[in-house]
Copies of this chain bind each other. A is one copy, B any other.
Amino acid sequence: MPKVGIVGYGQTKFSQDDIKIESVLLGATKNLFDRSSHLNQKDIDAVLVSTNSNSKYLSAILSEMTGIQPKIGHTIESLCNSGTNAIVSAYSYIVSGLANLVLISGAERYDSPGQILEWDHLRGEFKHPIFWASIFSKSYKRKYSLTAEDLALVAVKNHKQSVNNPYAISQKAVSIEEVLNSKKLTEDLRLLECSRPCTGGASILLASDKVCKKISDYPIWITGIGQKTTSASFTKNSAFDSMDSTRQAAQLAFQMANQKPSNVDVMEIHDAFSVCEPMALDSIGFTAPGKGINTVKDMYLTENYKINPRGGLIGSGHPLGATGLAQTVEITQQLQSKAGKRQVDQAKVGLVHNMSAASTSATVLILEN
């Protein structure tokens, strides 16, 4: 079976600008083209769009705008982990021989309809994701005797790291006091520890190993893929202090890549809210249950960018359909030693963790150089 490599990437600045979804997709894709001097875009034979936008036929529209006439083209939606679902689809198209060079473009607007969980009637009126995140926060703090200050440090670390990411919406470091004194949205969550809805796009280009060499001097390989959906409603989660779908997805990805957590040099974790970062570290297997927050503190104190170097969702912003792709762009840059001030030393194995709706579904990718 052919290997599949990442041979190009691009993104837009994440903002709260009122830009048409088609223009966001185009912006991220033009940025990819500008960085890919060996690419003839007519060679692209599949175009997948990742978004929660209600606009239709976006793959054909993006293709026409960029002079591509693909064989395969459609939109993929799975709330917040649409982007990694699209990457897995592109991977499959290449391995199965139906495509050789696949463009994946993800985009969202600040007013995306994917941000409200309309279907989940068990929530009553509490359809905004912040309500599951509050229950997670309360449950995780209670079980492991943590404080609001402990979790606020996730936000402090990620806002600090995003200052070195020119595409991030947050460009200002904040103190623990600033996080704790920011607007109280629920009993357990303040404004600065929540990822922000925003307008943004990210694109990547995947190729079969034969095609890789023509386009990139330094392809990054997708060696592990794990996905799992356990339910659609967070009230069906087996626990509120760990993430079962994330645990299962990580196991599948490590198994496929023949890797283990201790070998991972740099990782993107889906920190939609502060509690998600330590909880995901536990569930992926980087830390023992409840110990994720210690690792977050260690990384902060030693100024190690290993976890969410671009600032995570809290620092970068969270344009749903673009997030999984922007995470993958970051790990690709890290493994190519092209991450500038965010660069982690000697990064050889990277991990992307993306999830939807209280980790009722999750994707984990392992990337290697």
Contacts and interface: CB of A to CB of B under 8 A. Distances in A.
Given A1-B97, A61-B119, A95-B96, A227 B71 contact: yes
Contacts of A188: none
Interface stretch (A81-89, A191-199, A266-274): A81-89
A323 interface: no
A229 B59 contact: yes
A60 B78 CA distance: 8
Counting chain A residues whose Cβ lies within 8 A of the other chain, the interface size class is 35 or more
A55 B229 contact: no
Nearest to A60: B232
A236 interface: yes
Interface in A274-328: none
A54 interface: yes
Interface in A241-286: 252
A22 interface: yes
A191 to B, nearest CB: 24
B78 A75 contact: yes
Interface in A319-369: 356-357, 360-361
**Max chain B Cβ within 10 angstroms of own Cβ: one of A57, A73, A75, A119:** A57
Nearest to A62: B232
A59 B231 CA distance: 10
Interface in A41-82: 47, 52, 54-57, 59-61, 63-64, 69-79, 82
B71 A57 contact: no
Nearest to A75: B77
B76 A75 contact: yes
Interface string A168-180: 0000000000000
A114 interface: yes
Interface of A: 1, 22, 47, 52, 54-57, 59-61, 63-64, 69-79, 82, 85, 88-89, 91-93, 95-98, 113-114, 117-119, 225-233, 236, 252, 356-357, 360-361
30 contacts: A1-B97, A47-B229, A52-B56, A55-B118, A56-B113, A56-B119, A57-B78, A57-B356, A59-B229, A60-B229, A60-B231, A60-B232, A61-B232, A63-B232, A64-B231, A69-B228, A69-B230, A69-B231, A70-B228, A71-B252, A72-B88, A73-B85, A73-B227, A74-B89, A88-B98, A89-B89, A89-B93, A92-B96, A92-B98, A95-B97
